[in-house]
């Protein structure tokens, strides 16, 4: 962890937070990434996703309901479902069982395959063995797989097979809940699509829309094939007719359970409803590490093209590779000193400390800085340029400890993060898994430490029970590592 005042690294429990090798496929982006998506008006309109009601009827009876209705009905109780009910939505499709154990076997276009290998991907991950081919076949996909197991490359490789590079139009759209994730996805796309001549563009809120309009404009001879967007900006671009659903072959909702839940629900339902006319042929992929039953039910109403569903049992998303520890305290006000002590005894590459509110992130950063630690914080209330600067600096390893709200809980892939500290347990059980999944990327070793006051001890017990994974007390003798 960043040490007090200087770059002194404190000692690491090696087996908890072992060093990681860095394979970076991410290149620098010039695009500014920033905060909260703009709000969009809600719609009462009939859903048009899939064009006609009959499309919804034929393939999936539930889809005949309006998207609005489906989404509204299914977002209640998001954190109170039992493990049993999660298990009950897990299902297997016999077709999914066909696994492609190598990228060669998948018969990907040559230039795409080159991008895959140039990205350092030798073999497909589990989710890639199962889901790339259904995407290539134009089928709708609901794919749940643990954090850090290659979901981004899965939907990008699958989607890229559907893109006709010779066409000067947007053919694939990826919707991401945060600008940081959108930025990261765009960079992975750039690496994978480089030999194809793929053009991509990031369009996120908070920065002027003019550049987007210029790139997407009728006169442009280099319209992006792939658009990576945050929901509010996508709505804006659809409204301005800068993007036309008619040309979109693949629509991906990344972190789909978040996009279909409270904060984004209206935006997504609006995007997928009138007045936007979506062709029946637009393929939909919904991707996430967590998928609560109510959201999975809504998600399925969007999947009508010979869909493939890959869901996981709750105990299968618990990230076995990440060692989970806790420190039990009597009171919340003991956390700060405990964290400072802990920081003096850990040597790690990079660490993220999660808190629940923006104010707490600022407060903790100030307190830790006063104690001489060199760290930053990031949250959605921050000046957008500053937010990007801090994220870039963390990715580059210039800052080794970043305090964050759940803005960074999902999807963010910084392979050097070997430790996640939950200064406060998250409000949502799903975000616990997402948070700790920031360490231990793609099979690397990782660890998490929860700082618990008396109330949180009980919350942790519920999390342990739900995911079927014991969180151990952090041993006193750190040298045992």
Q: How far is the CB of 244 from ligand AMP (least distance, A)?
A: 28
∠ CA 358-359-360 to the nearest 5 degrees? Answer: 90
Q: Taking Cα atoms as reference points, which of 82, 158, 142, 465 lies closest to residue 311? A: 142
Helices (H), 175-221: 179-193, 210-216
In sequence order, which residues have a C-beta less than 8 Å from that of residue 67 and are 6 or more positions away?
47, 49, 269, 272, 273, 301, 302
Please report whether residue 363 would count as binding ligand AMP according to CB under 6 A.
no
Position 152 contacts ligand AMP (CB under 6 A): yes
Residue 153 sits in the site that holds ligand AMP (CB under 6 A): yes
Task: Identify which of residues 17 and 365 has a Cβ nearer to ligand AMP in the complex.
Answer: 17
Among 35, 68, 144, 149, binds ligand AMP (CB under 6 A): 149
- 250, 254, 257, 262 alpha-carbon torsion, rounded to 10°: -100
Residue 177 binds ligand AMP, judged by CB under 6 A: no
Could you tell me the CA-to-CA distances from 100 to 121, 130, 134, 456 in Å, in that order? Answer: 14, 7, 11, 43
Say whether residue 158 binds ligand AMP (CB under 6 A): no
Residue pointed to by tokens 């040490």: 3
Residue of minimal Cβ distance to ligand AMP: 150
Is position 128 an interface residue for ligand AMP (rule: CB under 6 A)? yes
Residue 450 interacting with ligand AMP (CB under 6 A): no
**Least Å from the CB of residue 116 to ligand AMP:** 8
Q: How far is the CB of 74 from ligand AMP (least distance, A)?
A: 25
d(CA 475, CA 62): 51
Give the closest residue to 312 by CA, choosing from 327, 296, 301.
296
Q: How far is the CB of 275 from ligand AMP (least distance, A)?
A: 34
Nearer to ligand AMP, 123 or 470 (CB): 123
Among 469, 459, 472, 439, smallest CA distance to 320 is for 469
Q: Is 151 in the site for ligand AMP (CB under 6 A)?
A: yes
**Residue 180 found at the interface with ligand AMP (CB under 6 A):** no
**By CB under 6 A, is residue 413 in contact with ligand AMP?**
yes
Nearer to ligand AMP, 20 or 96 (CB): 20
Tally the C-alpha atoms within 13 A of residue 341's C-alpha that lie toward its C-beta: 9
- What is the nearest approach in angstroms of ligand AMP to the Cβ of residue 243? 24
CB of 333 to ligand AMP, least distance (A): 36
When the beta carbons of 128 and 267 are compared against ligand AMP, the nearer one is 128
In Å, how far are 64, 97, 323 from 319, measured between CA atoms?
36, 22, 9
Give whichever of 21 and 166 is closer to ligand AMP, judged by the CB atom.
21
Q: How far is the CB of 317 from ligand AMP (least distance, A)?
A: 12
Structure tokens at 195: 């030999």
Are 387 and 33 contacting, i.e. CB atoms less than 8 angstroms apart? yes
Nearest CB to ligand AMP, comparing residues 132 and 299: 132
Helices (H), 322-449: 335-345, 358-370, 384-395, 429-436
Contact between 176 and ligand AMP by CB under 6 A: the answer reads no
- Exposure string of 430-467, with b = 16+ CB inside 10 Å and e = fewer, is bbbbbbbbbbbbbebbbbbbbbbbeebeebbeebeebb
CA-to-CA dists, residue 274 to 43, 61, 116, 266, 333, angstroms: 8, 20, 37, 13, 51
Nearer to ligand AMP, 300 or 438 (CB): 438
Contact set for ligand AMP, span 7-66 (CB under 6 A): 25
Of 68-127, binders to ligand AMP (CB under 6 A) are 121, 123-125
State which residue, 124 or 446, has the beta carbon closest to ligand AMP: 124
Considering CB under 6 A, how many residues would be counted as binding ligand AMP?
A: 16
Query: By CB under 6 A, is residue 144 in contact with ligand AMP?
Result: no
* Residue among 365, 350, 441 at smallest CA distance from 403: 365
Single out the residue of 230, 283, 415, 422 in contact with ligand AMP (rule: CB under 6 A): 415
442 binds ligand AMP (CB under 6 A): yes
Which residues form the interface with ligand AMP (CB under 6 A)?
Answer: 25, 121, 123-125, 128, 148-153, 413, 415, 441-442
């Amino acid at each position: 962890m960043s040490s007090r005042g200087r770059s002194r690294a404190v000692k690491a429990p090696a087996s908890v937070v072992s060093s990681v090798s860095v394979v970076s496929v991410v290149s620098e982006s010039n695009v500014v990434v920033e905060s909260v998506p703009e709000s969009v008006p809600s719609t009462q309109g009939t859903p048009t996703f899939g064009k006609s009601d009959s499309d919804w009827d034929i393939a999936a009876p539930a889809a005949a309901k309006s998207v609005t209705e489906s989404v509204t009905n299914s977002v209640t109780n998001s954190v109170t479902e039992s493990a049993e009910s999660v298990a009950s939505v897990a299902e297997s499709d016999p077709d999914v069982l066909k696994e492609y154990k190598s990228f060669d076997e998948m018969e990907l276009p040559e230039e795409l395959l080159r991008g895959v290998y140039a990205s350092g991907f030798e073999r497909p991950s589990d989710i890639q063995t199962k889901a790339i081919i259904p995407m290539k076949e134009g089928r709708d996909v609901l794919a749940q797989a643990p954090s850090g197991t290659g979901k981004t490359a899965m939907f990008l490789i699958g989607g890229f097979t559907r893109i006709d590079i010779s066409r000067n139009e947007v053919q694939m759209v990826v919707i991401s809940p945060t600008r940081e994730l959108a930025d990261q996805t765009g960079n992975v796309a750039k690496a994978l699509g480089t030999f194809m001549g793929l053009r991509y563009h990031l369009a996120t809120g908070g920065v002027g829309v003019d550049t987007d309009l210029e790139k997407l404009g009728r006169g442009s001879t280099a319209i992006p094939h792939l658009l990576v967007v945050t929901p509010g900006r996508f709505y804006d671009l659809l409204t301005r007719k800068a993007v036309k659903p008619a040309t979109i072959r693949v629509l991906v909702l990344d972190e789909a359970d978040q996009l279909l839940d409270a904060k984004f629900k209206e935006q997504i339902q609006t995007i997928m409803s009138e007045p936007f006319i979506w062709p029946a042929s637009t393929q939909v992929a919904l991707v996430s590490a967590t998928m609560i039953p109510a959201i999975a039910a809504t998600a399925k109403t969007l999947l009508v093209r010979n869909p493939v569903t890959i869901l996981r049992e709750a105990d299968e998303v618990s990230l076995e590779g990440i060692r989970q520890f806790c420190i039990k305290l009597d009171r919340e006000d003991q956390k700060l000193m405990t964290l400072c002590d802990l920081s003096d005894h850990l040597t790690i590459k990079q660490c993220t400390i999660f808190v629940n509110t923006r104010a707490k992130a600022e407060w903790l950063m100030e307190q830790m800085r006063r104690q001489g630690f060199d760290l930053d914080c990031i949250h959605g209330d921050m000046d957008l340029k500053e937010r990007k600067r801090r994220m870039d600096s963390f990715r580059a390893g210039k800052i080794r400890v970043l305090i964050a709200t759940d803005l960074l809980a999902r999807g963010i892939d910084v392979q050097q993060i070997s430790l996640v500290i939950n200064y406060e347990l998250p409000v949502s059980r799903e975000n616990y898994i997402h948070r700790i999944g920031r360490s231990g990327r793609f099979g690397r070793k990782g660890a998490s430490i929860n700082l618990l006051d008396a109330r949180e001890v009980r919350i942790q017990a519920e999390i342990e029970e739900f995911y079927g994974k014991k969180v151990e007390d952090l041993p006193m003798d750190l040298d045992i590592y």
